[in-house]
Amino acid sequence: MSSLSLQGYVRGQVQGVGFRQATVRQANKLGISGWVRNLPDGSVEVMLCGEEPALEAMTAWLRTGPDAASVDAVELTGCAWQEIAGFVQL
């Protein structure tokens, strides 16, 4: 298996609905490191680092997010490997 890093954006009703907290919990369950943060435009930015199967599962989860969220789009692109310990909310 290969380790990959993905960075990108989740758009829709993703702020004020517990999206970042739920993302941290889901990433920890999947053994993914990285971070999540709100952006001024109402979207959420993520950095995901881990094994390909875990990243695929995380990407699928991001498409729906927690129950209160309404995700319109997930845009992720590969990037240089990031050595990040754990997963944090910024």
Catalytic residue (choose from 11, 25, 37, 38)? 38
Instruction: Please state, in angstroms and rounded to a whole number, the distance separating the CA atoms of residues 83 and 13.
Output: 30
The single residue of 11, 20, 25, 63 carrying the catalytic annotation is 20
20 is catalytic: yes
Is 38 annotated in the active site? Answer: yes
**The two structure tokens encoding residue 25:** 């919990």
Task: Indicate the DSSP class of residue 69.
Answer: -
17-to-59, 61, 67, 90 alpha-carbon distances in Å: 18, 15, 8, 16
Among all residues, which ones are annotated catalytic?
A: 20, 38
